[in-house]
Amino acid sequence: MANCVQCGRKLPGFSFGKKLCSWCVQHEAAQRGEEPEDAVQRVEVPPWLRRESTSRIVTQAIFGINVAVFLGMLFAGVSIIDNPSTQDLRNWGANYGPLTIMDGQWWRLLTCVFVHGSFLHIAFNMWCLWDLGSLAESLYGRWTFAVVYLITGLSGSVLSVVWHPTVTSVGASGAVFGIAGALIASYYLGEFSMPRAVIMSTLRSVVFFVGFNLFFGFVASGVDNAAHIGGLVSGLILGAVIAKLAPDRDHPARRFVTLALVLVILGGGAGWWLYSRDYLRHMQRGLGYLGEGKVDQSIEELQTVIRRRPDFVPGHFALARAYATKGDLANAEMEYRRVIQLNPHSDSAFNNLGFVLLEAKKLPEARQTFQQLLALDRNHANAHYGLASVAYAEGDYQHSIDEYKQAAQLEPDMEGVYYRMGQAQFKLKLYDDAIYSFLREQKRIGDDYDLEIALAAAYDAKGMKQDAAAARQKAAELTGQE
């Protein structure tokens, strides 16, 4: 669809060969005196007039906030001239998935827009903000520009944390790209009283800025193109909506309703996505509580994870560990079986389930589980260790020794394998072999109370009373006894 060369209004469809709209034709005829003096000049909706103003209060305010934060970091001792540490950036409000999403610090989606990682970083962003912000503020007005800046900045932050949740992200570039996107859509779709050539020249400049910086972001390292794209797309949407539905700033109510609707749609979509990932926050808390020994709190958080994501394998696995730590073997068994159902190739689940069944005295089921683990990996040392433990519990000590030897051969540094082998050898009265196994375990892990007691028993059985007494004395020293 063509545009009027005089005022920039879009011409009606099928206006082939026409260059002026009907309003401009009538207006020029009136100027030439070709219209009767009493002719009624048709009134049409005026084109979107770009109002020139020397005041750029919002742009200056945003500029000032960014600089103030940067100076605050500098005076606080952050190494801002070079690249500051990621921890420093996080302390000042950087966007980082484990904190933003998992720990529920949603405010980081906004604060990161005002934090920068170096002098060059803030210098480039503020230069772009000053130019594009001034242009956008003169076009939209103060409060509309402020809303566009904040919405697009938040959109860039959301896509950034979604795209790479483990990367620390800072900078105003997402919002700057949002301004550029809004200008592109508005200049392309809006109607202006400026000459079309001026509009197209400005549009080409902004499009070049976006294209060049997106390309640079893809080829250069350390550039958060996710924030750029998130800001750009949301800016294009906002600019298009303003241009087509609420171009006239003299009708603030209409523009407010329009922007509020867009904000609800964009915010609702982002909020839904973040809420759908809220199970990760509970997962993080659950693992944290488990590491601190707060088992009941851990189970409560991990149960929340499972309710929200019933097929989330790491959640079931962590919950099984928590139940096992608490001694709730029945629920631990159930959760490990659920993990295996969801992931039949999880060797860790088979291994842990086998030892839970062993502790619950379900020896045939434990043996079957360790045999299934060997079917997955014939050289799995823990599977042989588990089968050895089952045989020991059943009193089949020779079979137990054979399996422990197989485990030790596959993994010589496995903790406890020689100690358990020595116990089986002691049961068969193979005292020399038992002493050798206990000493080998001692060489690997150092002094240990249980090892000294086992050695004392083996020395006694061999009639080596002096060595037995020395082992008991050492065991007493290890426990602080006389």
Active site annotation includes 186: no
Phi, psi of 48 (to 5 degrees): -65, 105
Residue 139 structure tokens: 């076009």
Amino acid 308: pLDDT: 87
**Cα dihedral 194/198/199/200 (nearest 10):** 150
| Contact status, residue 48 vs residue 8, Cβ threshold 8 Å | no
Name the average pLDDT for the chain. 84
Active site annotation includes 85: no
In this prediction, residues 304-312 reach a mean pLDDT of 91
Residues in the chain: 482
Does residue 51 register a pLDDT over 60? no
Residue 60 structure tokens: 């200056």
Catalytic residue among 116, 228, 380, 384: 228
Amino acid 119: pLDDT: 86
Q: Hey, what domains does the chain have and what are their CATH numbers?
A: 1-44 (no CATH), 58-263 (1.20.1540.10), 277-342 (1.25.40.10)
Q: How far is Cα 453 from Cα 147, in angstroms, rounded to an integer?
A: 74
Does residue 114 register a pLDDT over 70? yes
Catalytic residue among 169, 173, 186, 298: 173
Residue 191 structure tokens: 């109607």
Residue 327 structure tokens: 């001694």
Q: What's 379's DSSP letter?
A: T
Does residue 175 register a pLDDT over 60? yes
Q: Which of 15-24, 128-137, 216-225, 276-285 has the lowest mean pLDDT?
A: 15-24
